[in-house]
Amino acid sequence: MSEKKVAVFGCKQTTRFLIESLHAIFPLTAVITIDKELGHKNKVADYYDVGAYAKSLDIPVYHTNKYSLKDEDDINYINSLQLDLVFVIGWQRLIPNDILSHLSIGAFGMHGSSMNLPLGRGRSPMNWSIIEGRKVFYTNLFKYDPGIDSGDVLDTFKFTINEKDTGETMHFKNTLAMKYLILKNIKNLLEHNIVLKKQKDLSPSYYPKRTPADSLIDWTRDVNHIERFIRAVTRPFNGAFSFINDHRFVIYSAQIFDVHEYGYDNAPVGTIVEILTPKKFLIKCFGGLLLVNEYESDYRPKKEDCFSNGQEAIKYFQLNKYGGFDIYEEESSKVISH
């Protein structure tokens, strides 16, 4: 299709999906990724051995020496490839200007939010959108610049967030949107025949980074928030967790059972009020009952057990002036990091 030199940067399942889609159209020059050791050390959610997959397709692979792209040897090698076009999918780090300036066409990646750019830049926007109860998500194919998700936009795809979506299904939807936007625009990209749009002239906002420790369930929140929270951080992420005494519970699947409390009105929030099957139980929450469908623990729960924070503390994220978790530049500089 083209003699242009095209590479893919990434280390997740979404990266593999893109490589598969592009490989069917034209040969890739290289895949830039990290090995399993760096992936596990940096707790990359949904890490995938992209290198092994690319090699199975006879695509040259380069594993960076460091998790970031600040290593001089990494930068020199990538620039030696004399790449024209780069797709950055499942990388979650900035591409330094030392690399961007050597690309004849540029580096393009995906970023989206429920409000669309420049609102909702930063980390984990799909997870945050579920937690906030948003209903739509805008995915953008944009050109990288040295900033954080600040580049000009080539194309946009909008999809719904429904009441059963999880962190995983949101990634599925975003991956399909990514494939659609790239294949729709690939011909013009390779011919460098594109029209880019500036992001809206608004004050940008940034979602903060989430870590596994941030998935501790806050039982002082209402049942609607807790149900969304569990969906947002379930597999391929670490899962929402809590404790019964010193026993850790990871809850992967739950649903709002009913707003009526079936006589359990006076039970403390976080209490298991009924064991329905050996693997399913009801928890009293503010505003109703939560049915746990799937969990993992070394302890078999009993009726009247009560969940708590154990020895850990809830992390309370700063809210913006509208009550969302994406913080505006004028409100704080602490969350603006990659």
Q: Are residues 106 and 230 in the same domain?
A: no
Tell me, yes or no, whether 196 and 239 share the same domain: no
CATH of the domain at 252: 3.10.25.10
What average pLDDT score do residues 262-269 get?
A: 95
Residue 310 lies in a domain: no
pLDDT in the model for residue 242: 98
The model carries a pTM of 0.90
Query: Do 190 and 256 reside in the same domain of the chain?
Result: no
Q: Are strands 280-285 and 288-296 parallel, antiparallel or unpaired?
A: antiparallel
* Residue 18 structural domain: 6-207
Asked if 2 and 104 touch (Cβ cutoff 8 Å), the reply is no
Dist CA 140 CA 123 (whole Å)? 15
Q: For residue 234, what are the contacts with CB-CB under 8 A and spacing of at least 6? A: 166, 167, 168, 240, 252, 253
Q: 37-89: per-residue pLDDT in tens?
A: 998 898 887 889 999 999 999 999 999 999 888 899 999 999 999 999 999 99
Output the pLDDT for position 236. 87
Whether 72 is in a domain gets the answer: yes
Q: Which residue has the higher pLDDT, 13 or 337?
A: 13
Summary mean pLDDT of the chain: 94
pLDDT at residue 336, as a whole number: 47
Per-residue pLDDT at 68? 85
Mean pLDDT, rounded, for 289-301: 97
Please state, for a pLDDT cut of 90, what percent of the chain lies above it: 87
pLDDT tens digits, one per residue of 142-183: 999 999 999 999 999 999 999 999 999 999 999 899 999 999
Q: Is the pLDDT of residue 206 over 80?
A: yes
Q: How many domains does the chain have?
A: 2
Q: How many other β-carbons are positioned within 10 Å of the β-carbon of residue 109?
A: 22
Give me the sign of the Cα torsion angle 117, 119, 125, 128: negative
- Sorted by sequence, the CB contacts under 8 Å of residue 96 that are 6+ apart come out as 69, 70, 75, 146
Q: What is the pLDDT of residues 187-201, one digit of tens each?
A: 999 999 999 999 999
pLDDT digits over 242-257, tens only?
Answer: 999 999 999 999 999 9
Asked whether the predicted pLDDT for residue 8 surpasses 70, the reply is yes
Looking at residue 33, its pLDDT comes to: 96
Q: What is the pLDDT of residue 93?
A: 85
pLDDT of residue 266: 94
Confidence of residue 337 (pLDDT cuts 50, 70, 90): very low
CA pseudo-torsion sign 14, 87, 140, 101: positive
Last-in-domain residue among 263, 278, 296: 296
Note whether 245 and 109 are same-domain residues: no
Residues 166 and 200 reside in one and the same domain = yes
Domain boundary, last residue among 188, 207, 226: 207
Residue 333 pLDDT class (50, 70, 90 cuts): low
Supply the angle between the helices 13-23 and 167-190 in degrees, to the nearest 10: 30
- Judge whether residue 1 has pLDDT over 80: no
Same-domain pairing of 17 and 156:
yes
Q: Are 139 and 110 in contact (CB under 8 A)?
A: yes
Residue 304 placed within a domain: no
